[in-house]
Structure 1
Amino acid sequence: MRGITFEIPNAYGHYLSEILDGVKGLTWKIGDGESYVIENETLGVPLFPSACIVEEDVLLKEVSKKDYYLIFADLKGFPEKSDVREITTYKEFVESECQFVLLVIDSSYVTIYSKDQSTIKHLFSKAVEAGYKKIEYITDENDERTTLIAF
């Protein structure tokens, strides 16, 4: 198993907080994306500054405090004190220190890659419990992605 895919509701919420609950010990590289904090019932400031590196506690705080709307999101988790760099393909992911990739495309389509099989199984179970749709494992046989970037 390489990871999982599923669909989240196309709505405001705290989906990253829900998905990342239990994923620990990583420094996060936030790639280009488009996600906004909800202010006065409309899109406000960007959820993340473009292309930055944040510590786990900072990321979890940001994705937990206010509702936001995800359009595109590109998060890559690396062990603390490792070589944090851009990962654009599955081969680069495998050959790097990167442990976790989370992509959100078109507000609903979530793709997660993890080097830890127990994390994949845990996230699959959480996705089922949350009522997300079209939950599937990503395997060597069914992986159709050519890049690991949101856009």
Structure 2
Amino acid sequence: MRGISFEIPNAYGKYLLELLDELNIKEWTWKIGAGESYVIQRDTLGKPLFPTKPLFSTACLLDGEELYRNISMDDYYLIFVDLKAFSKTSNVREIATYQEFVESDCQFVLLIVDCSYVTIYAKDQNTIQHLFLKATANGYGNTEYITDANDERTTLIAF
């Protein structure tokens, strides 16, 4: 098993918190790729959920505590999300393909495309199984495992 895929509702909420809250997200460094997600303010799209990359920077990094604060405070609307988790002592680098993921220190990839389509890759098989059960229990649609045989994704980039 490489990971899982499923669909979340196209609505505001705290879907990242629902998915990640039991995964010890505070223990990792998170690389935030290009994306588009907004905090909901006065029932409309407000400021970006994640900090934007500084000019000429190759990455936006958040420690797990900061990511947790971002996804647990207010409701938000997810359009495109690209999150990659690395241990705090590992080499954080760009991961664009599944092979790069396998060969890297990256432990976890979460991608959301077009507000609803979630793809998660994890090196830990127990994490994959846990998230599959959680997605099913939350009533998310079209939940399935991603395997070597059915993985059609060519890149691990959301946007």
Tell me the TM-score range normalised by the shorter chain.
over 0.9
Q: Could you say what the CA RMSD is over the residues aligned between the two structures, in angstroms?
A: 0.7
How far apart are 1:48 and its partner, in Å? 0.5
| Aligned amino acid, residue 110 of structure 1 | V
Please give the secondary structure, in 2, of the residue aligned with 1:119.
helix
Please give the TM-score of this superposition, normalised by the length of structure 2: 0.93
Structure 1: how far apart are the matches of 2:104 and 2:52? 22
Structure 2: how far apart are the matches of 1:103 and 1:134? 16
Please give the secondary structure, in 2, of the residue aligned with 1:29.
strand
Please give the secondary structure, in 1, of the residue aligned with 2:110.
strand
Partner in structure 1 of residue 145 of structure 2: 137
Please give the secondary structure, in 2, of the residue aligned with 1:99.
strand
Partner in structure 1 of residue 45 of structure 2: 43
Please give the secondary structure, in 2, of the residue aligned with 1:104.
strand
Structure 2: how far apart are the matches of 1:126 and 1:61? 21
Identity %: 66
Structure 2: how far apart are the matches of 1:93 and 1:130? 27
- Alignment of 1:102 with 2:102, yes or no, is no
- Matched residue pairs, number? 151
Partner in structure 2 of residue 112 of structure 1: 120
Unmatched 5+ stretches in structure 1: none
Structure 2: how far apart are the matches of 1:67 and 1:33? 17
- Runs of 4+ aligned residues of structure 1 deviating over 4 Å after TM superposition are none
Structure 2: how far apart are the matches of 1:131 and 1:60? 23
